[in-house]
Structure 1
Amino acid sequence: MAQAKLIDISAPGEKLSDEDARPLREEVARLLGRSQKGFPGAQPVSFSRKHVGELMKQDYYVCEKSDGQRYLLYCTADPNTGDEAHFLIDRRNDYWYIPGLHFPLKDDASFASFHTNTLIDGELVLDDLPTGLRATYLVFDCLVLDRKPLISRTLDKRLAYFKDGVFAPYAELLRRFPEERPHMPFEVQLKDMQLPYGLEMMFRAVLPGLPHGNDGLIFTCRGAAYRYGTDPGILKWKPENENSVDFLMRIDFALVKEEGGTWTDYDSLPVVNLFVWTGDRGEKWYGTLHLEESEWEELKGRGEPLHERVVECSMDESGRWRFMRFRDDKDKANHVSTVESVIERGVEEEAGA
């Protein structure tokens, strides 16, 4: 099979300008019946001991937390030509035009018809296959299908609508016309969902066999409606060594005063302040990032702007925040409640060790 063309999942297509994206944001808001035009995707909360009871009281699906990029997929039609059009929407609410996709309607033997007014939730990953890298869009939810709102329905119903209405005819298209695969920017798959009693299979069979990276598990309440923004019905579990927080990073360089005047020392280790998001009150200082000299030299050597970027950090054994990676797919730090939940979970794990 030919290798998919897309290999940069952080820039998956042609990024639209704010002016060009504005009418699409308005379309998506109207489809969802929302006045807000921001990114509508649900966001998980960190798993802690208090959530164990919830897993016992209600049915949850569990799936791997992929090491990929979160995107909504908007299926629509070009208003000028009427042709099929697709856009990936990232967490910054930027729109990326994706040519080459086709999702035929159910029961269309010609495979010529296509879905519009459809909004799908998923993530883009890079699969490392023997034939090379291949981009795959893993679907884990469907908000609207052909203008039919699904957000008030339960997760199992939403997934059933997607599987029957979108995925089944798409899979049949690829089965009948495998020569179309090389012309598609990525493949679409349903994310593997298990009930919690399938956890052992998830750890023993599913996770070790994945062709892409993963860094934990996601538990989603099967009987809950879709919820915009932070959703307490979606729980994010990470192993202790993967527990992390996204901060906004601001760098303060030392000022050196000499007889000839004052100058900024850009070479010495700066103070790297970390901020969390509080909602209406904006950012709040939360701590500092610990950097070794070698780490600072590596960051400087990238030749990239470092100030005012979202950075993923983990806490080391000494209680210091350490750099993991930049999160340029985000424009805000984690909410303070998310940060405190992550820290609470870490304390519980330490106490139970």
Structure 2
Amino acid sequence: MELSCLGSKASPETASALRHMIYDQLNEHRAKHREKFVGSHPITLTLENINLLLTEDFLVCEKSDGVRALLLIINYMDKNRAYLYDRKNDFYELDIRIPFNSTVLIDGEVFLESNTINTYAIFDCLIYEGVSQISKNLYKRLGYAQMFLEAMYKEYETSKSVPKDDDRKRVHIQITNESPPICFYVKQMLKGYGFWEIYKKIPELKHGNDGLIFTPVNEAYCVGKRGEILKWKPASLNTMDFKMVRHSKDSNIYDLICIGKRGKEMVFDQFLSTNIHESNLDGVIGEFLYDADGYYWDFDELVLRKGGWKLYKTRLDKDSPNNIKVVCNILESLKDDLSIEKLSSFYTPMRENSKAREIQGHRTVA
């Protein structure tokens, strides 16, 4: 889904100014960090880090197959404005009424429901009414996200934009007279051990899904970097992002590039494009699956070997590939074969440990 369908793209100068304004309000003044996408980055759940789910409190939600975007409401050039802000550091201004006079920054993702309904699913809040919330726990941040939704509902509840059967859990906002409305809602989250309840409802979803997200309750929001947010995907959807660079002129062989030490690009592997519709991939970010059972060319030895890379889809919403650490982490996850059945074997200790922490917490308070 293209964010340009929902708003007009801001100039590079405006985008840079907005990003720096965000970092100022988050009290992040390191120059290197201020050029990065503000959003936090999840890490892949593996048998090596699954102990986090046993020893710490998490909330779990479904992982939508959409476009990651922060929603920024800010006073810029003497006017209150709303923007969707993506991982390419692009901002798209929305033409909507805004019931706020100070900065709000929400984290979420954009996708289509039933292939027609523009939807923005909210899962975190970084700034509310001009105050940074990133040091608060997840429950409090989600509370601010819910307050944002309620404020938007009150702004639009008398409008024709809100369906009569709306239950206040969703807000439908008309962006322009020519475009369909966008639906806002806060994602359902359960305690970490409730992952099976979330998983079994995935077939009922009206949008694409590619796994589960576990967010730590007591960790501060990690601005522009990886923290302890864990993502689980079934092996069939456990992908990694490479930049495809044509190996030589007029060749269908592409070097698969990831980010190595000190932010430098490095060649991780190669990929042969055999699809006529994949003829213009040079410089594009591709989301790849590792196919352990198929046979693929080893271009160093010029032989067919079992196992290789299959292009799942191109990522026009991203302009940089995964870090080598992320790639290795995902490969480790594939090696672990952490299926939903294997994950379910951790349900009992996750629940028992969570209950024990609750009891201990009550004793401490008492």
Structure 1 CA distance, aligned partners of 2:117 and 2:77?
31
Can you give the 5+ residue segments of structure 1 that lack an aligned partner in the other structure?
1-6, 105-113, 254-263
Match of residue 110 from structure 1: none
Tell me the equivalent position of 2:39. 41
Residue of structure 2 in register with 1:287 after alignment: 269
The change in CA–CA distance for 1:219 and 1:116 in structure 2 (over 3 A counts) is same
Alpha-carbon contact 2:15-2:89 (below 8 Å) kept: no
- Aligned residue pair count: 310
1:1-353 matched pairs, under 5 angstroms: 8-9=2-3, 11-35=5-29, 36-80=34-78, 82=79, 84-100=80-96, 102-104=97-99, 114-128=100-114, 133-164=116-147, 166-179=148-161, 181=172, 183-184=174-175, 185-205=181-201, 207-253=202-248, 266=250, 270-291=252-273, 293=274, 295=275, 297-300=276-279, 305-317=280-292, 318-349=306-337
Does structure 1 retain, via aligned residues, the 8 Å contact 2:84–2:93? yes
Partners of 2:322 and 2:146 lie apart in 1 by: 32
8 Å contact kept, 1:290–1:320: no
Cα separation, 2, equivalents of 1:307 and 1:344:
28
RMSD: 2.2
Residues 9 and 125 of structure 1 are in contact (CA less than 8 Å); yes or no, is this contact kept in structure 2?
no
Greater Cα offset, 145-154 or 195-204: 195-204
Q: TM-score, normalised by structure 1?
A: 0.82
> Contact 1:103–1:169 at 8 Å: present in 2 too?
no
Query: 1:204 offset after TM fit, Å?
Result: 2.0
Bigger CA drift: 181-190 or 155-164?
A: 181-190
Instruction: Tell me: CA distance 1:197–1:67, structure 2 relative to 1, closer, same or farther (3 Å).
Output: same
1:192 is paired with a residue of what secondary structure? Answer: coil
* Identity among equivalent pairs (%): 30
In the alignment, the residues of structure 2 paired with residue 245 and residue 37 of structure 1 have an alpha-carbon distance, to the nearest angstrom, of 23
TM-score (norm 2): 0.79
Q: Which residue of 1 aligns with 2:297?
A: none
In 2: Cα distance, 1:78 partner to 1:227 partner = 25
Work out whether residues 156 and 173 of structure 2, in 8 Å CA contact, stay in contact via their aligned partners in 1.
no
Cα contact 1:9–1:135 (8 A) shared by 2: no
Structure 1 residue 350, shift from structure 2 partner = 8.6
Q: Secondary structure at the match of 2:108?
A: strand
Structure 1 residue 162 displacement after superposition: 2.2
In the TM superposition, residue 52 of structure 1 has moved relative to its aligned partner by: 2.0
